[in-house]
Structure 1
Amino acid sequence: MLFDASKPAPPNGNNAQDNYFFLDLRNRGQLRFGFDDNQGNGYAAQTGRFSFGKKTWVHIAVTWDLGAGTIQIYVNGNLAATDSASGSSGALGALNSLYLGNNRSSFQGPPGATGGSADGVMDEVRIYRQVLTPAEILFDMNATHPCVALDHFTIGVGTGTASTCSPLPVTITAEDAANNVLTTYGGLVNLSDSAGHGTWSVNTASGTVTPGAADSGTGTYQFVPADNGSVVLNLADVHADDLTVTVTDPTANVTSTSAPVSFRDDAFVITPTDPLGTQVVAARPHGFDVALWRRDPTTGNCAIATGYAGVKPLKAWYVADPSDPAGALPPAIGGVTLPGAIPAANDLSLAFSSGQAPFTLNTSDVGKYALGLRDDTSGFAKDLTGGARPIDGSSATLTVRPFALALVNISAGATPNPGSTTPGGAVFTAAGGGFSATVRGVQWQAADDPGNTGSPAPGANLADNPLTPSFAWNTALAAGTPFQPAGGVRGNLTLGGTAPVTLPQAAYGGGSTTASPLQYSEVGSFTLQAQAANYLNTPGINVYGNAVVGRFIPAYFQTVVTPGCSGAPFTYSAQPFNVTATAYNTLGTVTQNYDGNLGYAKLTTFSDANAGTGGTLSNNLLAALDYVHGVGSDNQITYTFTNKDTAPYTLAVRATDTDAVTSAGHLEGTTEIRSGRVFLQNAFGSELLDLTMPLAVQYYQDATAQWVPNTADTCTTLSAGSFTLGNWSGALHPGDTAITGVTLSAGSGALTLSAPGAGKVGSVDVTGTVASWLQYDWNASGSLSNPSALASFGIFKAPNRVIYQRELP
């Protein structure tokens, strides 16, 4: 059983109350999907046999549409089975909750079903509110996410110096072999340090630390989903130890150890004063405070060393994290560019007051590092010989991110993106057509962030912001909200036909990369969203960008003609016929948003693609409101020959809307146009016999054959009621004869008039009432009229015509 939500009948109930809803793999390799409606009617679709290999992923999708009465099973993006659910009540029966990979209960399911586990692995399970199209199912099949395993932990300890008066922030991040953060990691880890001293607690984490024995340096931490694979824990050690930190996942058998850490009784503690804490924005000034903390060797009490005051010459540097981008521009403090290791000489002076000094970190690029400070010249702390003992300090690990991702230079060939969000806005390109967009990591500018939040204000112009030259990170592009039309369908975004769209870190150079060809599948506009998640392997630090892209229009139309003569391959001149126009994107998928009710369909004109000059196409405007989900129809279109005596002509119908979207070069429906008429032939005969009057439905074949029976006509019907009698003459009066029958087949037929009776000699006009396209200019008056003929009773056939006749003796 692959999934099951079937619900058995209640105790003492009857089997008719069983409600099935299941997908199973039968023992001969067929997939079967079935369900009951709320009236107990059962429906199912079953595929042919499949041979699924072991350890091979197979994508399976099932759809059901009770309104349309369809059930479908797709295997690896291809339709494998379809069946009917017509006659259903329109609603599923009462179901249990859905079990994946096993039976929902002891209820075995429908006859022939096999209970038990699917005996495999499932991934990427998705449930939708609506029936997906084949293209959407294929899109989902390709939208996979690789499964990864824990390979190691990165353990950040700053510059490797800490105060015995202040806990050391230790960053623990679960990563795979490619150094990607495992944002779904949920393991239980053991914590320890090599000195066997210290106490663990939470700094920034959603779970709880369970400490080991007091001051043992041990404990455990259970990762939870909200951690996104990374936590910051505090290690407090009152001993002036040199140690390393070890993190172990015993289940995964993974152990990692940090760089060395030195705890000291005299140490600088560097703390961010900016509201963003350890998250730094490139080019945005970031405030810090450094304080000299001292543990009294006698009492063990800690306090800021208030006697440490005045301008102090210091050594300042930074220590790059393993995720720091190589070659990134270094940070600066007070105009001093920091080196990536302890400098040989003092390079920074800070003014301390009562043991504390503020400073501002300035950046022009991205990075991930900790700041280090050392005082080894003031002599505020002395060794046993009276010499100056170094005082060191470290910040927590800082992540410097771009201010934002700027999406610029969006264009389709030479056409720049106008960013239109209204139905009448400027056109960008066709739905599904290729366009390009450049993604830049950019620096902060005050004008773009009046609230100094570290994020762009709505509508900020990022096109002129300097780049962060070392930015490079896997960046996801997606079609986000808002999109237009708001009540329509948000299209799919692909890159070269592939989704989801991820721009790899390696694609960046100088802080930017260009994605091409991007494709958006729908009509309208959308918000192109960019996200670099867990930047520099720091969970929760995400860099965003967005831009409105549009307006997209259909790539082309296809037209389908339904001939006016139902069941026949032709349409009479001036006879209404139906044309359906369907809007498509370049991928060959119908654009659902091309809809008059959504405002994004356009007035469409139908024309003759063959550019004939012998007739006129009329009623050839399809209103925007006639389009629903990309399809519009008009059943009142006519093509009328200028001259009734015109040979058949093949009309090809072209659709063109006011955005110049056209069916030219694509499927264009055709119909043969025939000039038609109904012909009645004069008839005469005895007043004592019924009279047969020949009739025909004719079309003009050519100048030689002229009018011939239209043997292909299947749409013209004539009855006794189609004819009237008038202009009675002689001894023939109204009521003396009547039309008693009409026959018509393959364009030929006759009508029958009843015998008037003895002595009722005379004539009457028979006039047909026919469709306008079957009328003809019978009297050369320039106007079309109904067919008419003379029925004569009591006048017999004239003798044969002779040239000379004489009577023989």
Structure 2
Amino acid sequence: MDSYGADAYSERPSAGDDLEVDIYLNDGSWKRVALFEGPGDISGDIYNFSTALPDNALHANFAVRFHQIDGTSNDHDYWHIDDVTVTDYDVGPVVNGLFYDGFERAALGTTDWSISKVDSRSDSSIGTQIASVGTRSMYTRSGEIYVTTRAIDLSPYDFVQMSFWVRSGSDSYSEWPSSGDDLHAEMLLENGTWQRIGTYLGSGSLGGDTYEYYARLPTNAYHSNFKLRFHQIDGSTNNDFWHIDEVFVGYRGPALTNIDHYLLTFSDQALTCNAQDVEIKACLNADCSTLYTDDVDVTLTPSGWTGSDTVTISGGTANVSLRQATTGTVTLGATSTTPAADNATQCIINGGTSSLSCDMIFSDSGFVFSIPDFLAAKGATGIAIQAVKKSDASEACIPAFASVSKTLDFWSDYVSPNSVGRPVSWPVVVNGVAIGASSGTATPISLAFDATGSSIIDVNYADAGQMEVEAKYNGSGADAGLVMTGNNSFVSRPAGMCVSATTTCSAGDASCPKFMTAGTAFPLSVQAVAWQTDGDTDFCAGNGSTPNYSATGVGLSAAVLSPSPANSAGAVSPASYDHGAIAEGTHSVAISESEVGVFRFDVTPPSYFGYNLGVFSSEPIGRFYPDHFAVSVSDDGSLAANCSTFTPFSYSGEEITWLVAPQLTITAKNSANVTTQNYTTSGYLKLLVDDIDVANVTADSSAVDSGAVPLSITSIFNTGTLNTTSFGEFTYDFSPLDLFTYTREARAEINSFTPDILMSITDISDSDGVAMSSSPLTFTPLANMDVRFGRLWLEDSYGPEIFDVVMPLRTEYFDGTRYQINLDDSCTAYSSANASVSPTTLTQVDTSSGVVISGVSGASGLVLLAPTSVIGTPDTGKATVTYATPSWLQGDYDNNGSFEDARGTVSFGVYRGHNRVIYRKEIR
């Protein structure tokens, strides 16, 4: 319910301060279902709005929103909203249209519609430009106009539905309404005022929009002069069209459902001295699986029904009795008026299938017995069979035999299953004797009748089904010509079901050997079996089968035994199967379990002739394990530069580690690619950290050496870590101790390059053989760095013999042409502990250390002590300084093809050059 302002506090919304009602559709969009305009000069109007939700609104995230388009804070422009309800309440289908127009005719006419033109240029008629249904619709165009229905009497009703279809122009003929050329839908209330129920805006630039209005009318619309009108408020001569179609006003009420047919169930052998029982059902569908449960009065034929020939059926079923005083065949029937049955009466005779045959045979004498239903192979004992006849003095039954033995012929008939598709035909046993299966193969059995005309029989049947036992006496001697018959049916039902698989595991826990991958079908054997002993619970040990048992919709389910507690109970597929009659009595059901673990599989058959057979379970079956691992790279990782003061870099031959170690996400999946959540429970996670195989990286994927061969790499991978992150999912983090080293050799002396290391996961498989779904899995870690072929250089140094000499050092890298100072290196440390001098008689290395800055030691370096004045030793001369250089900074200083430690020469004394050297240059 919506209303707009003007009360003690709130003001009416101004023009343009409209309120939209929107619904959220399953494609993520909002659809407007109502627009209430702020009129600016009227207030307090109340709208009762209801609508049926379209199919694309029926989803889990459905929402309703109210959108006030504009308003001011100081004028209190209020819309009031109350009683918002979303419900599945159904008041029944439309049973009568009070007004309908689909406009499938040539002219609008004056019977159902009246036209009032405000602008002389305006017009309304029926056109073929566009339609919701059919080929025609009504239109309004070209100016202000009202088109109004005839009066519709709604006073007798309390639920009236109204709907219509609206479309703005834009087709092969009509133009879209311009801005301001709006269409209003309005209804006439009982107080004589018109209330707007829909506003459709002229866009000015868009056309072809369609709107469907569907709502229950408010209570103040239920009067005898109700009308609906469409008001186009403006338009031009440019064919600004609004199209209107499928206008409907009708009442709704409870569904009136006719009965499909009546079903009578009875035995066809009846006695004139005894009322014969008949069950009657009111069926709503052809197979009578649904009953008409309201009260209905039914007239039964023929006459002679106990109490009355008319009976009231309540709840869908009634039990009645028919009595006939004379012998013969009568035909039973049932009829009703409100509601009527659409089809003729059907009958089930002697437990057979339903048909239109409804005859019952009445005799003056016969046998009366009632065999109780029993468990297959257990049978029923102590069943009284009475020989009766109609009394000469009354209609009562009296004994036909007394204190005499008579030989009766017994045979059986199959009621269910019938002859179609019956795999076996086992005999019914009476008093330990297997009787024939037809009147032609009837088995004679002598019975001793007592003074009351009764004898006792035992009946057994080893299979399942519904059987009919027939008894017949053909008189001889003094009884010559006397024929007496009787029959009765019984149900023999299975005692239970044997549920088994090829492999079971009595331990029922994670110690069970692997059995089947989760989600993969395996054969589950289900056999309906006969009784063996009372209190029997193991139906797989010694019980005979019941091959004629059949049922549709036998339920299948499973209970997880281990892990306990489980992350997931899993799901069985299929959830049911049809158990057809089969000679061997055993059905092999292809069934799958979606989860990991050990399970008990349960079979729940439907009721069998009204009997609840129970739930039957297997021994523990499993272990079920994943079908495969889904492996993805959750983090490619990144390489760490050994020096990143400026441009990050590492030297060729220097060990490179992870800045961020890569991470894999490993998810255990079943054969349907659904996560097996139980895999990560204790005892079921069989994947160890050592089961993850990473291929050694042997070469760069892009950079090549001087011979155009990919640069060689040595890689060392250490054991990473496995961490469970969620049910069925875990991560593998590479070890931070992993190392990559570009092989330092002469042919690798190339310009700087960005590492391109291709990682390859070649195999992930656990001890059950569960493996990654596809291999190898490759990825390339990020490398925000250069690899440089570098060397350490010691500068030849000179000085007087009375002072210490500093030997500078620098780091260099090869730029593809020559070596240059590595200005980005402010990381390489040096120490006098790594330096040695020869000969040691001239000088010694003083203690010093430092770090190069922008590749050079600057004024610092290795300090060579001034020679000591010792008589007999030189105080001037040269010495060679050798620095124990890291392998990645060694150089081929002598161009012999091998790398050696850096060396430099220190000279003490005044240097005047070699007598025979004209020019000297340092070669790098």
**Is TM > 0.5 for Structure 1 vs Structure 2?**
yes
Paired residues of 1:654 and 1:664 also in contact (CA < 8 A): no
- Does structure 2 conserve the Cα–Cα contact (< 8 Å) formed by 1:403 and 1:543? no
1:579 — aligned with what? 664
SS in 2 for 1:593: helix
Instruction: Provide the secondary structure at the position in 1 that maps to 2:499.
Output: strand
In the other structure, the counterpart of 1:40 is none
Aligned to 1:635: 733
Residue in structure 2 matching 1:480, options 541, 552, 558 = 558
Q: Is the 1:579–1:637 contact (alpha carbons within 8 Å) kept by the matching residues of 2?
A: no
The two structures have a TM-score, normalised by structure 2, of 0.50
Aligned to 2:708: none
Give the CA deviation at 1:555: 0.4
In the TM superposition, residue 428 of structure 1 has moved relative to its aligned partner by 1.1
Matches within 5 A, 1:291-330: 291-292=386-387, 296=391, 298=393, 305=399, 308-321=402-415, 323-326=417-420, 327=422, 328-330=425-427
State the alpha-carbon separation in 2 of the partners of residues 283 and 705 from structure 1. Answer: 102
Change (3 A) 1:8 1:62: farther
Query: Contact 2:268/2:359 (CA < 8 Å) preserved in 1?
Result: no
Q: What letter corresponds to residue 235 of structure 1 in structure 2?
A: S
State yes or no: 1:521 paired with 2:604: no
Output one character per residue of 1:303-354: Cα deviation in whole Å (capped at 9) or x when no partner.
x749733433223233443653545323121233333444587712233344
Determine if the alignment matches structure 1 residue 161 to structure 2 residue 250.
no
Alpha-carbon shift at residue 99 of structure 1 (Å): 1.7
Question: What whole-Å deviation, never above 9, does each CA across 1:395-450 have from its counterpart, x for those lacking one?
Answer: 2x422233334334x35xxxx4547732232211111223223433333322xxx3
Equivalent residue, structure 1, for 2:577: 502
Segments of structure 2 that go 5 or more residues without pairing to the other structure are 14-18, 33-53, 64-81, 93-158, 162-195, 201-210, 217-257, 348-357, 642-649, 699-713, 745-754, 796-808, 834-846, 864-883, 889-910
Q: Which residue of 1 aligns with 2:462?
A: 364
Shift of the 151–334 alpha-carbon distance from structure 1 to 2, 3 Å rule, reads farther
Opposite residue 431 of structure 2, the aligned amino acid is G
Name the residue aligned to 1:794: none
Match of 2:444 among 347, 350, 366: 347
Residue in 1 that maps onto 2:768: 659
Alpha-carbon distance change, 420 to 321 in structure 1, aligned in 2, over 3 angstroms = same
Is 1:589 equivalent to 2:674 in the alignment? yes
Rate the CA distance shift 1:583–1:470 in 2: closer, same or farther, 3 A.
same
Q: 1:439 to 1:185 in 2, by over 3 A?
A: farther
Q: Amino acid of the residue matched to residue 502 of structure 1?
A: Y
Q: What is the identity percentage for the equivalent residue pairs of Structure 1 and Structure 2? A: 16
Match status 1:804 vs 2:918 = yes
Q: Offset at 1:196?
A: 0.9
Question: In 2, Cα distance between the equivalents of 1:672 and 1:164?
Answer: 98
Summarize the Cα distance change of 1:595–1:189 in structure 2 as closer, same or farther, 3 Å threshold. Answer: farther
Residue of structure 2 in register with 1:227 after alignment? none
Contact 2:630–2:772 under 8 Å retained in 1: yes
- Find the counterpart in structure 2 of residue 604 from structure 1: 688
Q: What's the counterpart of residue 270 of structure 1?
A: 369
Structure 2: distance between partners of 1:512 and 1:347 = 35
Following superposition, the deviation at residue 522 of structure 1 comes to 1.9
Say which of 512, 522, 527 aligns to 1:440: 527
Aligned letter for 2:530?
Q
Does the 8 Å CA contact 2:24/2:57 hold for their aligned counterparts?
A: no
How far off is 1:116 after superposition?
A: 4.0
Distance in 2 (alpha carbons) for counterparts of 1:503 and 1:262: 38
Match of 1:221 in 2: 313
Q: Counterparts of 2:640 and 2:736 in 1: how far apart (Å)?
A: 18
**TM-score, normalization by structure 1:** 0.57
- SS of the aligned residue for 2:769 comes to coil
Deviations 1:195-251 (A, max 9, x none): 31123xxxxxxxxxxxxxx342x3232446xxxxxx683425374564333355855
Q: Which residue of 2 aligns with 1:62?
A: 59
User: Do the aligned residues in 2 keep the contact of 1:377 with 1:388 (CA within 8 Å)?
Assistant: yes
* CA contact 1:294–1:305 (8 Å) conserved in 2: yes
**Deviation string for 1:236-287 (max 9, x for gaps)?**
5374564333355855512224342234565433234xxxx43x33222223
Evaluate the alpha carbon distance shift between residue 172 and residue 669 of structure 1 in structure 2; reply closer, same or farther with a 3 A threshold.
farther
2:493 to 372, 385, 401: 401
Is 1:99 paired with 2:206?
Answer: no
Query: Match of 2:312, as an amino acid?
Result: T
The 2-side partners of 1:308 and 1:531 are apart by 49
SS at match of 1:474: strand
Q: Separation in 1 of the partners of 2:332 and 2:301? A: 7
Gaps of 5+ in 1: 1-5, 35-56, 65-70, 73-92, 119-148, 200-213, 225-230, 686-692, 712-717, 743-749, 756-760, 766-776, 782-798
Q: Give 3-state SS (helix, strand or coil) of 1:339's partner.
A: coil
Residue 182 of structure 1 pairs with residue 255 of structure 2: no
Q: Distance in 1 between matches of 2:524 and 2:765?
A: 30
Equivalenced residue count is 587
Kindly provide the amino acid, as one letter, of the partner of residue 410 in structure 2.
A
1:68-88 CA-to-partner distances (Å, cap 9, x unmatched) read xxx99xxxxxxxxxxxxxxxx
Higher relative contact order (CA 8 A, sep 6+): 1
Q: In structure 1, which of residues 282, 287, 290 is the aligned counterpart of residue 376 of structure 2? A: 282
Counterpart in the other structure of 1:619: 719
In 2, the alpha carbon distance for the partners of 1:309 and 1:706 equals: 132
Give the distance between the partners of 1:405 and 1:151, measured in 2 at CA: 37
1:511 equivalent in structure 2: 585
Q: 1:503 to 1:367 in 2, by over 3 A?
A: closer
Preserved contact between residue 666 and residue 729 of structure 2 (Cα < 8 Å):
yes
Aligned to 1:774: none
Q: Map Cα deviations across residues 116-171 of structure 1 (whole Å, 9 max, x no partner).
A: 479xxxxxxxxxxxxxxxxxxxxxxxxxxxxxx99766643235335744652547
1:378 shift after superposition: 8.1
